[in-house]
Amino acid sequence: MSKDTVKTAIDSDGLRYLSKTPGSPFGSAGTHSAATMSCFLCGKHRARSQLKTRKLLGKSQLVCAPTCNELEEQLRSSKP
């Protein structure tokens, strides 16, 4: 069994990927560094306004509001 060849290399300036676009796919909104956060239950990234805190496993966690399924249906119906 042979190992795959390494397709990336670390340049002298510390960058590893030459074709990767810089930045985060989630972006940032103004002064807040976290424009989106992931739901603790479904794991999807949502705007902070679409999340609520709920006590789970003894800690307050951010989850979709009202529920993950209802929010997904609302987002699907609002798209043209």
Q: What is the pLDDT of residues 13-59, one digit of tens each?
A: 776 666 666 666 666 555 555 678 899 999 988 888 889 999 998 99
List, in sequence order, the alpha helices (H) in the chain.
68-78
**What pLDDT is attached to residue 61?**
94
**What pLDDT is attached to residue 24?**
65
**Do 26 and 35 meet the contact criterion of CB atoms below 8 Å apart?**
yes
At 64, phi and psi to the nearest 5? Answer: -60, 145
**Do 42 and 64 meet the contact criterion of CB atoms below 8 Å apart?**
yes
**Do 71 and 46 meet the contact criterion of CB atoms below 8 Å apart?**
yes
Q: Is the whole model's pTM more than 0.75, yes or no?
A: no
